[in-house]
A and B are shown apart, each in its own frame.
Chain A
Amino acid sequence: MLAFIQQIVSGIATGGIYASLALGLVLIYRAMDVANFAQGEMATFSTFISYSLIEYAHFDFWSAFVVTILVSFGLGVAIERLLIRRFEGAPVLTLLIVTLGLFTIFNGVTGLIWGYVFKAYRGAFPSTPVQFGGLYLNTQDLGVFAVVLVMLLLLYLFFSRTKAGLAMRAASLYPDSSRLLGVRVGWMLALGWGLASTVGAVSGMLVAPIIFLDPNMMQAILLFAFAAAVLGGIESPLGAVIGGVAVGIVMALVGTYIPGGQDLRLAFGLVVIVVVLLVRPAGLFGRAAVKRV
Chain B
Amino acid sequence: MRRLPRVRPELLGLAVIGGIVVLGVPTVTNQFITFEFAKVAIFAIALMGLNLLTGYSGQISLGNGAFMAVGGYTTAILVQRTGIPYWTTIPVAALVAGGFGFVIGIPALRLTGVYLALATFALALSVPPVLNHYDTFTGGHGGIVMPAVLPPFSLDLSQEQWLYYMDSGIALLLFVFAWGVVRSRTGRAFMAIRDSETAATASGISLAYYKTLAFGLSAAYAGVAGSLLAIATSYLNPDTFGLSLSLALLVGVVIGGLGLDFGAVFGSLFVVWLPYYAEKASGLHIGALSFAGKPDIFYGALLIVILFFAPNGAAGLLQRAWRWYLHRRTAVRSPLPEPVAER
Contact = CB atoms under 8 A, between A and B. Distances in A.
A267 to B, nearest CB: 4
B125 interface: yes
B103 to A, nearest CB: 11
A266 B242 CA distance: 13
Nearest to B290: A112
A244 to B, nearest CB: 15
A83 interface: yes
Interface string B210-252: 0000000000000000000000000000000001000100110
Given A93-B113, A293-B198, A104 B303 contact: yes
Contacts of B289: 112-113
Given A273-B118, A277-B115, A266 B126 contact: yes
A175 interface: no
Contacts of A33: 114
B302 to A, nearest CB: 8
Contacts of A219: 125, 243
A183 interface: no
Contact of A104 (B110, B296, B311): B296
Interface string B295-326: 11111110110011001000000000000000
Contacts of B58: 93
B117 A108 contact: no
A259 to B, nearest CB: 10
Interface residues of B, number: 44
Contacts of A37: 117, 121
Interface of A: prevailing SS:
helix
B17 interface: no
A92 to B, nearest CB: 5
A87 interface: yes
Contact of A96 (B111, B117, B251, B291): B117
Contacts of A96: 60, 113-114, 117
A83 B118 contact: no
A97 B254 contact: yes
A109 B122 contact: no
Interface string B104-121: 000100110111011101
B133 A97 contact: no
Interface in A259-283: 260, 263-267, 269-270, 273-274, 277-278, 281
Nearest to B60: A93
Interface in A206-264: 219-220, 223, 226-227, 230, 234, 260, 263-264
15 contacts: A37-B117, A91-B343, A96-B117, A97-B303, A98-B304, A105-B301, A109-B297, A112-B297, A223-B122, A223-B126, A226-B121, A263-B130, A267-B126, A269-B122, A277-B115
Interface of B: 54, 58, 60, 62, 107, 110-111, 113-115, 117-119, 121-123, 125-126, 129-130, 132-133, 198, 243, 247, 250-251, 254, 289, 291, 294-301, 303-304, 307-308, 311, 343
State the 6 A-B residue pairs at the shortest beta-carbon distance, nearest first: A108-B296, A105-B300, A108-B297, A104-B300, A263-B133, A270-B122
Interface of A: 29, 33-35, 37, 83, 86-87, 91-94, 96-98, 100-109, 111-113, 219-220, 223, 226-227, 230, 234, 260, 263-267, 269-270, 273-274, 277-278, 281, 293
